[in-house]
């Protein structure tokens, strides 16, 4: 039976991250969005907290305590602070987790220690493709065998691309099967063009074109049978869904507090049913979505296939995050539309979940 309360340890981690997010991330959210820059000191502080390292193997300097549920709690709290900064904090895991899960011993030894030790994001993931039907299981990007290794051709987008990046995990099709390749950011034939989106503006992102990128044989992550690919995708969706819940709950709290302060017709607008019921629906939808995320995470932690549950959670949060953030803009009225307040930023960020896809965020 699914439990509805985090363990004491999980609650402690969640509360620590929540304090960090409220105290240090949220106050920087607007500036980061406007400047298009992630504050370095926040990343450094997140690294000190060991948010990624905690789930990676001890042999390479990690904490060895992988839990999708804990990861979901952390992701929600970070995104409650700010989605761009949360993604920047979690970005190293986009490479580190798949390497830990699918890499050979040699690949892990080569990549993980630096990923774990460095406060900057040395690794990233290129999964999405610039198509309406971008599919994590069936990338259009092709990998072909050559005499001494591999050759990659294709295009990727929505790739987190910090200045510090050294390696990118590129998902590609080998014949009809899915495979992951660790590509140096400086590889010949790989071109990164900075990209900008409706939301997550603080997060540096790039479009990648891969034109005859030559890689040695050991660039391919060895273990990629379908089963583990499904688990990786589910872990990505659970993480994203948790982030979306964080965005939604941030918007809800702002709207709730604003509605209690803002007076119209001689009383706080929250005392009007039209407003109060909207807020009640937001609260109900957020709790329902969060429980779907927890259920999927709980399945992953039990080693079960969570493809269906992760998909249900994603489907739900896509709608809920959009409706709640849009609702927050509405509650704020004209103030919701101006950039002095956060609801418009949250609405732009929330829409992103319509197309975000990741591996192993938790």
User: Minimum CB separation from other proteins for residue 184, in Å?
Assistant: 29
- Residue number, 213 or 292, with CB nearest to other proteins: 292
- Of the candidate spans 56-64, 87-95, 270-278, 343-351, the one that interacts with other proteins by CB under 8 A turns out to be 270-278
The burial class, CB within 10 Å (0-12 / 13-18 / 19+), for 291 is middle
- Burial letters 233-248, b for 16+ CB under 10 A, else e: bbbbbbbbbbbbbbbb
Size of the site for other proteins (CB under 8 A): 45
Write the CA distances from 5 to 11, 59, 297, integer angstroms: 9, 31, 13
Residue 333 region, left (φ>0) first, then alpha (ψ -120 to 50), else beta? left
Tokens of 23: 């105290």
* CB distance 187 to 213 below 8 Å: yes
Residue from 311, 323, 337, 348 binding other proteins (CB under 8 A): 311
Residue from 16, 262, 276, 326 binding other proteins (CB under 8 A): 276
* Other beta carbons less than 10 A from residue 48's beta carbon: 11
Task: Please give the Cα distance from 340 to 356 (Å, whole number).
Answer: 27
- Of the candidate spans 10-18, 38-46, 52-60, 252-260, the one that interacts with other proteins by CB under 8 A turns out to be 252-260
The burial class, CB within 10 Å (0-12 / 13-18 / 19+), for 5 is exposed
Write the CA distances from 214 to 147, 153, 210, 332, integer angstroms: 11, 9, 10, 53
Q: Does 260 bind other proteins (CB under 8 A)?
A: yes
- Of the candidate spans 94-102, 162-170, 197-205, 271-279, the one that interacts with other proteins by CB under 8 A turns out to be 271-279
Task: Please give the Cα distance from 188 to 125 (Å, whole number).
Answer: 18
- Residue number, 132 or 265, with CB nearest to other proteins: 132
Q: Does 104 bind other proteins (CB under 8 A)?
A: no
Q: Does 265 bind other proteins (CB under 8 A)?
A: no
- Of the candidate spans 96-104, 109-117, 180-188, 274-282, the one that interacts with other proteins by CB under 8 A turns out to be 274-282
- Of the candidate spans 63-71, 73-81, 280-288, 336-344, the one that interacts with other proteins by CB under 8 A turns out to be 280-288
* Site mask for other proteins (CB under 8 A), range 281-310, x = bound: x-xxx-xxx-xx-xx-----------xxx-
- Of the candidate spans 91-99, 135-143, 168-176, 210-218, the one that interacts with other proteins by CB under 8 A turns out to be 135-143
For 72-117, give the DSSP string: HHHHHHHHHH-HHHHHHHHHHHHHHHHHHHH--HHHHHHHHHHHHH
Q: Does 256 bind other proteins (CB under 8 A)?
A: yes
Residue 215's φ and ψ, nearest 5 degrees, are -130, 150
Q: Does 209 bind other proteins (CB under 8 A)?
A: no
Query: If DSSP codes are grouped into helix, strand and coil, which group holds residue 16?
Result: helix
User: Minimum CB separation from other proteins for residue 205, in Å?
Assistant: 19
Q: Does 230 bind other proteins (CB under 8 A)?
A: yes
- Residue number, 113 or 268, with CB nearest to other proteins: 268
Q: Does 132 bind other proteins (CB under 8 A)?
A: yes
Write the CA distances from 34 to 198, 263, 352, integer angstroms: 12, 30, 17
- Of the candidate spans 23-31, 68-76, 104-112, 133-141, the one that interacts with other proteins by CB under 8 A turns out to be 133-141
The burial class, CB within 10 Å (0-12 / 13-18 / 19+), for 12 is exposed
Find the binding residues for other proteins in span 35-94 (CB under 8 A): none
Q: Does 280 bind other proteins (CB under 8 A)?
A: yes
Binding residues (CB under 8 A) for other proteins: these are 1-4, 132-137, 230, 233, 256, 259-260, 270-271, 273, 276-277, 279-281, 283-285, 287-289, 291-292, 294-295, 307-309, 311-313, 315-316, 318-319, 354, 357
């Amino acid at each position: 039976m699914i439990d509805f309360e985090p363990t004491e340890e999980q609650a402690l981690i969640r509360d620590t991250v929540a304090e960090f997010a409220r105290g240090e991330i949220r106050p920087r959210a607007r500036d980061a969005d406007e400047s298009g820059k992630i504050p370095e000191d926040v990343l450094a502080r997140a690294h000190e907290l060991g948010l990624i390292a905690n789930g990676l193997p001890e042999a390479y300097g990690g904490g060895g305590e992988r839990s999708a549920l804990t990861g979901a709690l952390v992701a929600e709290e970070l995104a409650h602070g700010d989605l761009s900064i949360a993604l920047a904090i979690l970005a190293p895991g986009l490479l580190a987790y798949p390497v830990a899960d699918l890499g050979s011993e040699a690949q892990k030894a080569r990549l993980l220690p630096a990923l774990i030790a460095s406060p900057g994001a040395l690794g990233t993931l290129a999964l999405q493709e610039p198509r309406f039907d971008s599919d994590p299981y069936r990338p259009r990007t092709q990998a072909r065998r050559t005499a001494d290794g591999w050759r990659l051709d294709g295009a990727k987008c929505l790739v987190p691309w910090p200045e510090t990046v050294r390696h990118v995990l590129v998902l590609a099709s080998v014949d009809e099967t899915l495979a992951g390749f660790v590509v140096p950011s400086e590889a010949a034939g790989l071109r990164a063009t900075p990209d900008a989106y409706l939301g997550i503006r603080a997060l540096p992102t790039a479009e990648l074109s891969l034109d005859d990128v030559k890689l040695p044989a050991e660039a391919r992550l060895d273990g990629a049978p379908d089963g583990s690919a499904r688990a990786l995708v589910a872990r990505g969706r659970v993480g994203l869904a948790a982030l979306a819940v964080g965005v939604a709950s941030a918007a809800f709290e702002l709207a709730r507090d604003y509605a209690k302060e803002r007076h119209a017709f001689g009383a706080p607008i929250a005392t009007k049913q039209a407003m109060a019921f909207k807020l009640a629906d937001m609260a109900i939808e957020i709790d329902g979505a969060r429980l779907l995320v927890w259920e999927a995470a709980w399945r992953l932690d039990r080693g079960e296939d969570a493809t269906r549950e992760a998909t249900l959670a994603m489907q739900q949060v896509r709608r809920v995050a959009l409706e709640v953030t849009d609702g927050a803009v509405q509650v704020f009225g004209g103030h919701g539309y101006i950039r002095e307040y956060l609801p418009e930023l949250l609405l732009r960020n929330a829409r992103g979940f319509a197309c975000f896809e990741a591996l192993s965020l938790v």
